[in-house]
Amino acid sequence: MTIIKEVASKERSKVVCYWFMFFFPEFNVVHPDSAKILMKSSEPKSIGFGGAYGMMKSWLGDGLLISSGKKWERNRRLITPAFHFGILKPYVDIYNSSTDKFLNNLKEFAATNKPVDVFPLVSLETLDTILRCAFSYEGKIQTEGLKHPYVAAVSRLAHLLAERWLQPWLYWDTLYYITPKGREYRKLCQYVHDFSEGVIRERQQTFLTDGPPSNRHLDFLDILLTAKDDKGVGLSFDDIRAEVDTFLFEGHDTTASAISWAIYHLGKHQKEQDIVYSELSELLNNNKQVSWENLQTMPKLTAFIKESMRMIAPVPGVNRQLTSPMTIDNVTIPAGLVVDMGIYMLHHHPDVWPEHDVIKLKIFTRRHCRATPIQFPTIRSRIKKLHWSTLCNG
């Protein structure tokens, strides 16, 4: 990342090329103009040798994160209702109570006056929230922490996956799965699959016994189970499990990353901290519970969250594997190669973001905002704003 940043900053490049392990050419698009060409193409995600998506497939399955082409298009269309912002409205009370638990866990560290890594605590909070909201699962996640077997398994899987990414000689599945850590990874994958299947089958049994829910709102799992295409065909059981596994991990992990970095930036920048605190203090007026209506009137907090995600993106990058040659910025990339889109560099390219290492809330205020979806392709901030408003008020 450092080398890519130096090259892009010095040469004002839109595409950076380098050799990986001396044998594999890597292309990284680092400017909105070059990223637009890649993301508007129909090229699939890289699931072959060395592809990050491919390494996650044994865990997350062929869900929206990893699938491509017609399967992705069909399943995305079926699941679209689950991603409507309005579906979050009934969960405000859960967001508040989940955040209260997080703040209580944080109090014991605050009393010690010592540094604390907030990411594990935030990660527990976001996983707890997603399990309760999307799957109606009450598992005392924040109380038990790593003592909860599912939490421990997900945490260990993420660690093993990160380790493997940094050890290219283990990119070959055949080699990796005969190592002790490879066998551990496979065993933990089986455990989280069994957990997800248990949650799904329990809900299916409820449908058989009581029918679809009529006296409550549909959660994410309800939508997966009831979605049908134009031909009346729904998602297969494997597809449902893949979406459950994907949503549980990617949903809580990226949100936890965004919130943790936002806490870091809030603590580092006193001026911005005072601005956010003043806005929330005036809006909430000592009310410890954030309402749905409050979310519509937090422009400074919203700008801060977006600027924090611009500084450090929750997801560092995405990639595509070319099926045909592609020309980007006068560079013709052969078919078969993987092209990375470095989100960090898109957020820090000096030709797009002057003073890119300085936090400026006005960049994302309605009056000054000029960022396009390609310039700022990070995860939408509304869910994080709901978390953040309760965290800051606490």
* DSSP result, 194-214: HHHHHHHHHHHHHHHHH-S-S
- Looking at residue 15, its pLDDT comes to 85
Write down the residue that tokens 């390609």 correspond to.
374
User: In which region does residue 369 sit, left (phi positive, over 0), alpha (psi from -120 to 50) or beta (all else)?
Assistant: beta
Average pLDDT over residues 195-222: 87
Q: Write out pLDDT tens, residues 335-370.
A: 988 898 888 888 888 888 888 888 888 777 654 455
Q: Determine the distance from the C-alpha atom of residue 236 to the mean position of all C-alpha atoms in its chain, rounded to a whole number.
A: 24
Residue 264 or 376, more confident = 264
pLDDT number for residue 182: 97
Residue 377 — pLDDT band, cuts 50, 70, 90?
low
pLDDT confidence of residue 374: 59
pLDDT given at position 372: 61
Give the model confidence (pLDDT) of 43-76 as tens digits.
888 877 767 788 899 999 999 888 888 898 999 9
Burial of residue 268 (CB within 10 Å: 0-12, 13-18, 19+) is: exposed
The domains located in the chain, with CATH, are 2-393 (1.10.630.10)
Angle ∠(305,161,22) on CA atoms, nearest 5: 100
pLDDT at 387 over 70: no
Quote the pLDDT of residue 211: 78
How far apart are alpha carbons 391 and 267 in whole angstroms? 13
pLDDT at residue 98 tops 80? yes
For 36-48, what is each residue's pLDDT tens digit?
898 888 888 887 7
Q: What is the pLDDT of residue 8?
A: 66
Mean pLDDT of 17-21: 76
Tokens 């806490």 identify what position? 263
pLDDT for residue 329 is more than 90: no
User: Is 303's pLDDT higher than 50?
Assistant: yes
**Is residue 388 very low, low, confident or very high in pLDDT (cuts 50, 70, 90)?**
very low
125 burial level (CB within 10 Å; 0-12, 13-18, 19+): buried
Under 8 Å between Cβ of 243 and 134: no
User: Residue 124 in contact with residue 102, Cβ under 8 Å?
Assistant: yes
What is the signed CA dihedral for 82, 86, 92, 94, rounded to 10 degrees?
-10
pLDDT at 210: 83
Looking at residue 158, what is its pLDDT? 93
Classify residue 341 by burial, with Cβ atoms within 10 Å: 0-12, 13-18, 19+. buried
pLDDT digit string (tens) for 252-261? 999 999 999 9
Indicate whether 269 pLDDT > 80.
yes
Reported as a single tens digit per residue, the pLDDT across 22-35 is 777 888 888 888 98
